[in-house]
Amino acid sequence: MERKNKTTGVVAGIIANLVIVEVDGPVAQNEICFIQHPENNLMAEVIKIMGKNVYVQVFESTRGLKVGTKAEFEGHLLEVTLGPGILSRNYDGLQNDLDKMDGVFLKRGDYTDPLDREKKWDWTPIAKVGDEVSAGSWLGEVPENSMPHRIMVPFKFKGSYTVKKVVEPGQYTVDDVVATVTDADGNDIDLTMVQKWPVKMAVKAYSEKPRPFKLLQTGVRTLDTLNPIAEGGTGFIPGPFGTGKTVLQHAISKFGEADIVIIAACGERANEVVEIFTEFPELEDPRTGRKLIERTTIIANTSNMPVAAREASVYTAMTLGEYYRSMGLKVLLMADSTSRWAQALREMSNRLEELPGPDAFPMDLTAIISSFYARAGFVYLNNGESGSITFIGTVSPAGGNLKEPVTESTRKAARCFYGLNQGRADSKRYPAIDPIDSYSKYLEYPEVMDFLKENVGENWLSDVNKAKTLLLRGREAQEQINILGDDGVPLEFHERFWNSELIDAVILQQDSFDKIDANCPMPRQKYMLEKVLGITDMKFSFDSFDDVNAFFKRIINLLKQMNYSEWDSDKFKSYENELEDIMKGSLKEEALVGKTL
């Protein structure tokens, strides 16, 4: 989108941060303009065009703005700047570097450069003179913290180009010319380490985008064991306030099998965001032994930005993820909470006087959410390498109502549903993910099942289904016990209930603040699941329900101590031996022959 002369206009109406501008020339949807406020120029985005009247959403407070104020359109869409130096940064939804800003409250109209233009990077060329390249092709790389940051042919280039020149290895700034390519018409184009891309357009610099098929290990047992997410997959975590969404996101970010972590704090601008800013820089990265923030980027809404900026933050985060995916890296993108993004859409839709859908949300809410989730995925790049974006969003339904429009719309788009249960949170059963209501549709993919059989075990799916069945039967038994009383049901009901409690306590519950239990690799998950299911298969001899309760509480305690012990250590084995002695003493006589754990 290039124009010789910039389009200008004047403000014709103001509705909070929605401004109507009467223009004197052409403009495009999502184009950026600056309104000349008396204090500072205010950045805005075109969201609706009706003849000469253009509706723009301003990313700042419009207090003091008057009808008749001039506006100038920039000739480009809302975009991000891509280049080395994005990791470890704290950005707002417009990619302003928050660390470069002064004061407790950010000044209106204060915009900062997202990159360090002075720093010199250690450049190593990858492409050679004479190579045929296209959008997304790797020209060279620079080390960014512990990650290889590939410098690519800009995504906006179309067709093929020939490399005419690549600079020698050395130190260069992001604005230095590092390569020259020639297009089909013989024109030479100089390239730097920086490029720009519109946030609401998906980056498609890849050759193939197959269905996800690899398991993404998160280290969280209730996810990996019961409802795993695939690398390049999508999932969402709905739940009421206080059910542990933020802590669960921290755990997945810290131990998830990803190279890059991007946090889009598009929701609450108080507790959760403060927690991210204060805790993330202190978290140790178990993969590198360095700080987790070194391979993390945070996109946060700031307190004085209008609610509409929440929409920009999620798109900015996804575009940064696509950029790193094109380098052949695994990206984990976490958004907290997309309910606030949907509320921003509702607010702007209402101001535009559009036809409302359920709960006054836009009629096309489902389509907007689905198209955004579709940008995640596993891809094969043009050079044969692979990259992925795994997207997990959280939803904060009002009153914990999982039937409200945002949750229902997200359920249609995401392939994994991890519903947080208020009852589980109240009883301190964390993560509070409901094992019955949650699901992973990736278990329906034959390619995922083949991967699990080859890399985890032939019997993995049958064991998982068995565990889910025991949990369901345990819930049913608990309801009967609550209605009829402990003495009103057979001992078999108590055993069913405690079998489900065994799975719950040992497999589902996990201590995110314990050094060992916080992260559970797949081999350990498999071993513990088989151990627990082996116990549920045994027939025990009990005289009363009190005996059942006391016995299961004892073995649950031992199994939990195994979770807190180093894998296969002497301490771990001592608890396991003690467990076996207890089991042998409680088995029925006819089951003792040849029965081992």
Task: Return the pLDDT at 567.
Answer: 94
Picking from 116, 237, 126, the residue whose alpha carbon sits closest to that of residue 191 is: 126
404 — pLDDT class (breaks 50, 70, 90): very high
Contact 407, 397 (CB under 8 A): yes
Pairing state between β 147-152 and 8-15: unpaired
Distance between CA atoms of 141 and 149, rounded to whole angstroms? 5
Does residue 269 register a pLDDT over 60? no
Percent of the chain with pLDDT over 90: 77
487 — pLDDT class (breaks 50, 70, 90): very high
591 — pLDDT class (breaks 50, 70, 90): very low
**Residue 225 assigned as binding residue:** no
**Residue 243 assigned as binding residue:** yes
Does residue 444 register a pLDDT over 70? yes
Picking from 323, 312, 368, 263, the residue whose alpha carbon sits closest to that of residue 43 is: 312
> In angstroms, how far is CA 192 from the centroid of its own chain?
30
Conformation bin of residue 27: beta by default, left when phi > 0, alpha when psi is -120 to 50: beta
**Which SS3 state, helix, strand or coil, does residue 117 take?**
coil
Does residue 467 register a pLDDT over 90? yes
Contact 529, 466 (CB under 8 A): no
Picking from 248, 181, 235, the residue whose alpha carbon sits closest to that of residue 513 is: 248
304 — pLDDT class (breaks 50, 70, 90): low
**What mean pLDDT is predicted for residues 548-571?**
95
Does residue 593 register a pLDDT over 50? no
Distance between CA atoms of 405 and 339, rounded to whole angstroms? 10
pLDDT digits (tens, 9 = 90+) for 28-62: 999 999 999 888 899 999 999 999 999 999 988 89
**Residue 240 assigned as binding residue:** yes
The domains of the chain are located at 8-78, 121-196, 221-439, 460-591
Does residue 277 register a pLDDT over 50? yes
- Region of poorest pLDDT, from 239-243, 285-289, 307-311: 307-311
Does residue 282 register a pLDDT over 90? no
- Give the ranges where 282-436 is alpha helix by DSSP (H): 309-325, 338-351, 365-373, 405-413, 422-426
**Which SS3 state, helix, strand or coil, does residue 149 take?**
strand
| CATH architecture for residues 8-78 | Beta Barrel (2.40)
Backbone angles phi, psi at 572, to 5 degrees: -60, -45
Distance between CA atoms of 380 and 384, rounded to whole angstroms? 6
List the beta strands (DSSP E) in 183-312. Answer: 188-191, 195-198, 234-238, 260-265, 296-300
Burial of 413: CB neighbours in 10 Å, binned 0-12, 13-18, 19+: buried
Does residue 106 register a pLDDT over 90? no
Does residue 281 register a pLDDT over 90? no
Task: Judge whether 221-439 and 460-591 match in fold.
Answer: no
Task: Return the pLDDT at 585.
Answer: 75
Task: Return the pLDDT at 286.
Answer: 79
Q: Which helix (H) or strand (E) holds 141?
A: strand 138-144
* 8-state DSSP, 203: -
364 — pLDDT class (breaks 50, 70, 90): very high
Contact 494, 548 (CB under 8 A): yes
Task: Return the pLDDT at 8.
Answer: 96
Contact 93, 316 (CB under 8 A): yes
Contact 54, 23 (CB under 8 A): yes
pTM for this predicted structure: 0.94
Contact 576, 521 (CB under 8 A): no
Percent of the chain with pLDDT over 70: 95
Task: Return the pLDDT at 492.
Answer: 94
476 — pLDDT class (breaks 50, 70, 90): very high
Question: Is it true that domain 121-196 has CATH number 3.40.30.10?
Answer: no
Does residue 303 register a pLDDT over 70? no
Q: Which residues contact 38 (CB under 8 A, 6 or more apart)?
A: 64
The two three-digit tokens of residue 379, written as one number: 């891809």
Angle (nearest 5°) at CA 101 between 146 and 96: 60
Distance between CA atoms of 489 and 22, rounded to whole angstroms? 76
- Give the ranges where 102-244 is alpha helix by DSSP (H): 221
Distance between CA atoms of 281 and 292, rounded to whole angstroms? 7
**What mean pLDDT is predicted for residues 479-489?**
94
**Residue 412 assigned as binding residue:** no
Task: Return the pLDDT at 443.
Answer: 94
**What mean pLDDT is predicted for residues 4-9?**
89
Does residue 161 register a pLDDT over 60? yes
Other C-beta atoms closer than 10 Å to the C-beta of 2 total: 5
The per-residue pLDDT of the chain, averaged, comes to 92
249 — pLDDT class (breaks 50, 70, 90): confident
> In angstroms, how far is CA 203 from the centroid of its own chain?
18
Signed CA dihedral, 467, 468, 473, 479: sign only: positive
Picking from 56, 195, 62, the residue whose alpha carbon sits closest to that of residue 139 is: 195
Does residue 592 register a pLDDT over 60? no
Contact 139, 152 (CB under 8 A): yes
Task: Return the pLDDT at 590.
Answer: 38
**Which SS3 state, helix, strand or coil, does residue 178 take?**
coil
588 — pLDDT class (breaks 50, 70, 90): low
* CATH topology for the 460-591 domain: 1.10.1140
**What mean pLDDT is predicted for residues 193-199?**
97
**Residue 241 assigned as binding residue:** yes
* CATH topology for the 221-439 domain: Rossmann fold (3.40.50)
Does residue 436 register a pLDDT over 90? yes
